[in-house]
Amino acid sequence: MQLFPCPFCGLRDETEFTYLGEPKARHEPADQTSDEAWAEYLYVTANARGEAREIWLHLTCMESFAMTRDTATNGVIGSESLRRAP
């Protein structure tokens, strides 16, 4: 079992989370994006070895956030809210 840090709830069991993907910018306007660029946006991932920033969802509070992990060791480096300051 591993503990993940939700920025809103603190350390919680990994089973309370689901991986949403790598952070990447969506092509805009989407309806004018080529099929190749859209497919790359949807399906191609860097899948980096080592430190990686990922988007996760905490299923208990339903907040998404960024978590930085070492993908080689599974160690968690940190997490941060995706909310923008008002």
Binding site for Zn ion (CB under 5 A): 6, 8-9, 58, 61
Which SS3 state, helix, strand or coil, does residue 21 take?
strand
User: Rounded distance, CA 52 to CA 77, Å?
Assistant: 9
Query: Nearest distance from residue 3's CB to Zn ion, in Å?
Result: 12
Report the nearest approach of Zn ion to the CB of residue 77 (Å): 18
- 40 or 63: CB nearest Zn ion: 63
58/69 with CB nearer Zn ion: 58
CB of 30 to Zn ion, least distance (A): 30
C-alpha closest to that of 17 among 34, 5, 30 = 5
Q: Is 41 or 55 the residue whose CB approaches Zn ion more closely?
A: 55
